Amino acid sequence: MFENKVWWITGASSGIGAALAEALAKRKAKLVLSGRNVEALEDVAGRCGPHLILPFEATDFAAVPEIAERAWRWAAQQGGAIHGLVNNAGITQRSLAVETVFDVYLRIVGVDLLAPIALTQALLPRMVKAGGGQLVAISSVAGIVGAPLRSAYSAAKHGLIGYHDSVRAETAHSGIKVLVVAPGSVRTNVSKNALDARAEVRGVSDRAIDNGLDPALAAERILEALVAGKRELILADGPEAEIVRLRRSDPDALFDRMAALMAAGYAQQMGAQGKAE
């Protein structure tokens, strides 16, 4: 599944993407590393084995077919095809829907939903023709639960799950496997890079993220799920895992809990937390 197989990771310059690159490299995979920060990608690549750095703007949809062609050609030069695609790149938000400008929705849905769809659509026919492969979608607990202050992010990550679930159903008989991962808090720059209500970078992190799961451990759990043939991985523990369980078993209880959280001043606490940091 990993040794001498080509895996393409988007958002590979940091966080879960970088950790997955290193974990796959330890298993002797060959890597295509994508993102916007070339210097950071080169730093990650320096810790990995055979690789192709393939930077591109995720929402430059017109360029995606040519980007996919370059990646596929490189895989062929390595003696095979692209075995795995990890749709990992994304951005989030921290803002109330009632205060949020529409550009936030355009940007987040573009990066978190339309970009992975565009890339998968460009690659999927080739993977099917090659006899199969593995898709990995990095969604979020917020892709299962409508999380406060994350309306655009939740919308995009819900859509990411729906798209990949459909692709799984349509292509399983063609050898395509799909794993959807729903992380909770992982120790990355995701909240620091979040957009605020005016579509500006927030610039501060959340305590929950700062105290979250180590990305290296997250990567190991994802690879374990792949080996086990899982189709969904809830990469969360404690209260975050509990709200996923509630969303599926007792949604009314979850809706009441979320509303109570907001009534108790969650938005104000998040704002104060940012100011303190």
For tokens 């970078």, name the residue: 201
Residue 3 in tokens: 């040794």
What is the β-pairing status of strands 82-87 and 133-138? parallel
Residues 6+ apart with CB under 8 A from 216: 19, 22, 23
Report the catalytic residues: 153
Helix (H, G, I), strand (E, B), or coil: what is residue 256? helix
Distance CA 138, CA 155 (A): 14
Q: Which of 133, 118, 114 minimizes the C-alpha distance to 5?
A: 133
**CA-CA distances (angstroms) from residue 7 to 28, 59, 74, 194, 266?**
11, 21, 11, 27, 40
Contact 213, 183 (CB under 8 A): yes
Cα dihedral sign, 41-45-47-48:
positive
Report the alpha-carbon angle 37-40-46, nearest 5. Answer: 140
Long-range contacts formed by 266-270: CB under 8 A, 24+ apart: 266/148, 266/149, 267/96, 267/148, 267/149, 270/94, 270/149, 270/206
Residues 6+ apart with CB under 8 A from 74: 6, 32, 52, 54
